[in-house]
Chain A
Amino acid sequence: MDLMIREKIKQVKKGDQAAYEDVVMYYQDKIFQHCYRMLGNAHEAEDIAQEAFIRAYVNIHSYDEKRKFSTWLYRIATNLTIDRIRKRKPDYYLDAEVKGTDGLDMYSQLATNERLPEEEVQGMELQSYIQDEISNLPPKYRSIIMLRYLEEFSLQEISDILDIPLGTVKTRIHRGREALRKKLRHV
């Protein structure tokens, strides 16, 4: 598959726009999923994932073919999600539907904020609960935890994607796992 992508990228660089379609098709689920886990919201995830592919296309000439394309693409997507998170207003998504609550929005959640984690788990499906806890991790841990465990990149690849030293990746994955442990040990 890597070889196919490599070929397609070469064609795109030569100006063959149609060749990009296969590239998008191949990575769409991965990149959408990555954005979804980072943002915890399907609409935003679609927006940002679209933008990531468009940026990758526009900047394709700055992609160095000696490196892995997926690493480069994930870097663009991750940076965009982090920008989006920074720009969010705290009440931005109060009227968005909360996952797994069958139509309830954030307003309906406000009064029930004080529930214990155990009760909360019972009230929601486990899947949505875990997704919510992922979304609650600070972004700098969240990105690493997801890249490692849901997208199965190596620590070295994560260091390339996020452009941070390997030592920092190790410190953050350590802290991210501890944060996650505290959130999920009641489950």
Chain B
Amino acid sequence: MKCDKDVVNLMHGYLDDDLTKEDETKLRNHLEDCEACQKHFHELKRSITLLKSVEQVKAPENFTKQVMQNLPTEKKHKKYVR
């Protein structure tokens, strides 16, 4: 079965905490009856979970030191401006 875009919009509204009580019920009722939309909704939530599972990366060592070394100082500034 083909569901209209409105249902998908409701799913995204739900994910953004942006639904009225009424719309939320509408979405819930539809999902109970429609397997295709259930699957779609599940895939959306799952891709967010996968996305969040991505490893945290850290800045390279000496990152801060390097920034500090490259900040323009009064002296250097004069040199650059000329």
Given A20-B68, A173-B16, A181-B44, CB of A145 within 8 Å of CB of B51:
yes
Least Cβ–Cβ distance between B70 and chain A, in angstroms: 6
Q: Are B16 and A155 neighbours in the complex by a CB distance under 8 Å?
A: yes
Interface-facing stretch out of A48-56, A73-81, A84-92, A107-115: A48-56
Q: Are B52 and A150 neighbours in the complex by a CB distance under 8 Å?
A: yes
Q: Are B50 and A24 neighbours in the complex by a CB distance under 8 Å?
A: no
Q: Are B70 and A50 neighbours in the complex by a CB distance under 8 Å?
A: yes
Interface: B29 (CB within 8 A): no
Query: Which residue of the partner chain B has the closest CB to A127?
Result: B55
Which of A32, A134, A180, A181 has the largest count of B CB atoms less than 10 A from its CB?
A181
CA distance in complex: A148, B54 (Å): 14
Q: Are B59 and A131 neighbours in the complex by a CB distance under 8 Å?
A: no
Interface: B36 (CB within 8 A): no
Contacts of A49 in B (CB 8 A): 59, 63
Q: Are B16 and A25 neighbours in the complex by a CB distance under 8 Å?
A: no
Q: Are B63 and A130 neighbours in the complex by a CB distance under 8 Å?
A: no
Contacts of B46 in A (CB 8 A): 184-185
Question: Using a CB-CB cutoff of 8 Å, which residues 24-82 of chain B contact chain A?
Answer: 40, 43-44, 46-48, 50-60, 63-64, 66-68, 70-73
A-side interface residues, number (CB < 8 Å): 40
Least Cβ–Cβ distance between A176 and chain B, in angstroms: 10
Least Cβ–Cβ distance between A46 and chain B, in angstroms: 6
Q: Are B71 and A20 neighbours in the complex by a CB distance under 8 Å?
A: yes
Least Cβ–Cβ distance between B6 and chain A, in angstroms: 13
Question: Using a CB-CB cutoff of 8 Å, which residues 104-162 of chain A contact chain B?
Answer: 126-127, 130-131, 134, 145, 149-150, 155
- 15 cross-chain CB contacts under 8 A: A17-B68, A24-B68, A29-B58, A31-B59, A32-B58, A32-B60, A33-B56, A37-B54, A49-B63, A127-B54, A134-B54, A150-B51, A170-B12, A173-B12, A187-B50
Q: Which 7 A-B pairs have the closest CB atoms?
A: A32-B59, A28-B59, A184-B47, A174-B12, A24-B64, A53-B67, A180-B47
- A42-B57, A149-B52 known; 10 new pairs, CB 8 Å cut-off, are A28-B67, A29-B56, A32-B59, A46-B59, A54-B67, A134-B54, A170-B16, A174-B12, A178-B8, A180-B51
